Amino acid sequence: MKKAVLCASLIVLSACMPKAAVESDVTVIVGNIITMDETRPRAKVMVIKNGRIAAIGDPVLLEKMKTVNVIDLSGQTILPGFIDSHVHVRELGMDRIKANLVGVETVEDIVARLQAHFPNPEPGIWLIGQGWDEGAFASRGYPDRASLDAAFPNNPVALESLHGFGGFYNGRALDVAGITAQTKDPEVGDILRRDNGDPTGVMLTLAQDLVDQYIPKPNQAKLEDAILAGLTQMSEAGVTSVHEAGMTPADVAAFQALAGRGELPIRVYGLLDGNDTALMEAWFEQGLQDDPEDWLDIRGIKVFYDGSLGSRTALMAAPYSDKPNAARPTERISPDALQSLAGRAAKNGFQMAVHAIGDEGNNRTLNIYNKAFGADVSARWRIEHAQVVLPDYYDRVADMGVLSSVQSSHAVGDSDWAEDRVGPDRIKNAYAWQTILGAGGRLMLNSDLPGEPWTPMETLYFATTRKKLDPAPFADGWFSNQALTVEQALKAMTLTNAYGAFQEDALGSLEVGKRADFVVLDSDPTQVTPTWIKHITVQQTWVNGQPVYQAD
C-alpha cells in the first residue's frame, strides 16, 4: 500500500511540475533508455527525484525542467541495473588472497600458479587456492598430491574446486587434519585414495569439511572488507543488486553491520544457509528481515541438496552414461530433513531456494515443494541450477510457480563433458532454458560467481550465443536451440530477478515510482550481434539515484 501511494504521488509530481521549475534534488537523464516495462519499452528522458523515478518518457519532459541538473548520455544506452540473483560475494572478495586456479589442466599447472602467488610463504601458513575444474579433472582423472607435497612440504595447501564440490589438499594439510589411510569416509562425501589406501588429496563434497575446519577463519573485520571489495567490484560491472546465496552466521553479522552503517554500495537480498540447523532455528524464531529501503533483505533459504554433474555426485534417475561405477550420488541433506525445513519455511514466510543439479534431485525437490506449499503459486520458491531435469519438469514448475534459477556460464563451461555424463537423450533436457520458458515457466539468470566468468555482459553473451568466450569447439553455439534472445535474457537478469526477491514493485525496470537503479552502457545490446555483446563496456552504475561507478 505504501509503495502504491508513493508511486501515485510521483506520477502527480511529474505531471504537475511547473515549467522551468528549480529542483536542486532532481536529476534528468537523457539517452537511449531500455525500460524493461512492457507498456513503454523505450524512452529518451528519465527524471529522478529522491532516489526514485519521478517521470520517464519523451524529450517533451525537458521543457518543464530547463534549470534542473540534466545529464546528456545521448549515444549511450541506459538499462535497469543488473540483478545477479545467485552470488557468493564474500568469496569474490576473499579471492584476493587466494591463488587463481581457473583453467589449470595438470598438477604441474597448479603448482606453478601456487608458486607464483606464494613465492616465499612463511612456514606453517595455509596456502589457499580456488578454481580447478572438478568436472574436467573427473573426465581426465583426478589429481594426486605428490607434486604438491614436493613443492610445499612446510605449508598446508587447500585448493577449492571451481564449483565447490571438490577439495585438493597436500600431505601437510592432511596431517593437520589427521587424515590417514585408516580414516573412514564421512556419511556424505568421499576421500579419494591411492591403490594402497593412502588419500590422494582429493576430497569430494562434505569430505572437504574434514580438512577445511582447520583452516583459520577470517574475523568479522576481514569479512566486511571482503564483502565490500566484492560488492564494489560488482558495481563496476553494472550490478546494482545481488542475491547472496548461503549466508553463514558470520556472513549475516558482517552484512548487517555494513548495512547498519550505511556502507553497502549496492543492494543485497540474503539467502540463509539452510544446511545450518542452528542458524535456521534462530531465524525461524526471529522472523524474516524486510528492509523498507531494500538495502538488506533476508528472507530466503539456500539449501545444498545434491552434488554436481561434473564430479558425478548429482542425483540422477538412471546411472551416469560415462563411468557409472565412478559416480558418487550425494544427498547433502536427507529428504526428511529437507521436507521439515520446507514446511517450517512455508509456515514462517521464508522462500526456499534449493540447489538441485541432477534430474532426480530436481524431481525430489519439486515433490518436497509440492507437499510444503501445494497450489500457492505466490510462494515464489526457487530451484537453483535445474541443470538436468525430467521431461515433466517444465509443466510442473509452470503450474507451481517455481522459478528456475540458472547460470548461462555453467552451460558453456560444462559443454566439453556434459553430454558424456548423461548421454544424447538426457542432454536434451539439460540447460534447457527455452523449453522452460515455452512451458510458461519463469527463468532467473545469474552467475553463481566467483567460479565462472561472471560479469553481466559475459552472462548475457553466454545466454544468447551458448558459446565460450573463445567459441571453439562449438562455433555455432552448444545446443543453440536453447539460447535466449537478448530481450529474454535481459528480462531474466532484471525484472524476473527482482520478482524472485519479491522486489518487482521497486526494482527490475525503469518505471515511475521505482528506485533509480540503472546502468549506462557504451552500446545497445539489442542492436548489436550477440557475439559482440561480450565487448560492451559499462560506463556508469547508479543506485538510488546516485552514481556509484564512473568509468575512466
Beta bridge partners of residue 241, listed in sequence order: 83, 267
**pLDDT of the residue at 66:** 66
How many angstroms separate the CA atoms of 538 and 481, rounded?
29
In the numeric block, the cell 527525484 is attached to 49
Domain positions in the chain are 2-80+543-550, 89-212, 234-502
507 by DSSP, 3-state: which? coil
Distance CA 51, CA 232 (A): 20
- Which pLDDT value is given to residue 471? 74
- pLDDT < 70 positions in the chain: 1-24, 66-67
The model's pTM = 0.86
Q: How many CA atoms lie within 13 A of 302 on its CB side?
A: 22
Architecture of the domain delimited by 234-502: Alpha-Beta Barrel (3.20)
Cell of 141: 582423472
CATH topology of domain 2-80+543-550: Urease, subunit C; domain 1 (2.30.40)
CA 120 to chain centre: 34
Interhelix angle 359-373/393-400, rounded to 10 degrees, is 30
How confident is the model at residue 251, as a pLDDT?
97
Per-residue model confidence (pLDDT) at position 7: 36
Task: Name the fold adopted by 89-212.
Answer: Diaminopimelate Epimerase; Chain A, domain 1 (3.10.310)
Residue 145 and residue 150: Cα distance in Å, rounded? 9
Q: Give residue 351's Cα distance to chain centre.
A: 16
Per-residue DSSP letters for 319-380?
Answer: --SS-GGG-----SS-HHHHHHHHHHHHHHTPEEEEEE-SHHHHHHHHHHHHHHHTT-GGG-
**Mean model confidence pLDDT for the chain:** 93
Q: Which three cell numbers stand for residue 55?
A: 517521470
